[in-house]
Amino acid sequence: MLTGEAKVVIENGQLHIENLKKMRLTVDQLEMQLRLHGVTGIQDVKIATLEANGQLGIE
């Protein structure tokens, strides 16, 4: 079973670099995940969280 909590990686269009580092995710990898969800720019994201299992949640 996976443990851990979701980390906020984008809030109000701003990256949370420390949380990206904690989740071992690069900005390029995050942008790729956003594009897969139909998001064209980080600035368009109200909040994005990365779950311990790697799933990205976007608002």
Asked if the structure places residue 46 within a domain, the reply is yes
**pLDDT for residue 3:** 58
pLDDT in tens, 42-53: 999 999 999 988
Asked if the structure places residue 2 within a domain, the reply is no
Asked if the structure places residue 50 within a domain, the reply is yes
Torsion angles phi and psi, residue 44, rounded to 5: -85, -5
Residue range of the domain that includes 54? 7-58
Q: Count structural domains, the chain.
A: 1
Asked if the structure places residue 34 within a domain, the reply is yes
Category of 24 on φ-ψ map: left (φ > 0), alpha (ψ -120 to 50) or beta = left
Residue 25 near residue 18 (C-beta atoms within 8 A):
no
pLDDT in tens, 5-34: 899 999 999 999 999 999 899 999 999 999
**Spatial CA neighbour of 59 closest among 15, 49, 50:** 49
Asked if the structure places residue 1 within a domain, the reply is no
Asked if the structure places residue 31 within a domain, the reply is yes
Domain at 20, CATH number = 3.30.240.20
Q: Is the pTM of this model over 0.85?
A: yes
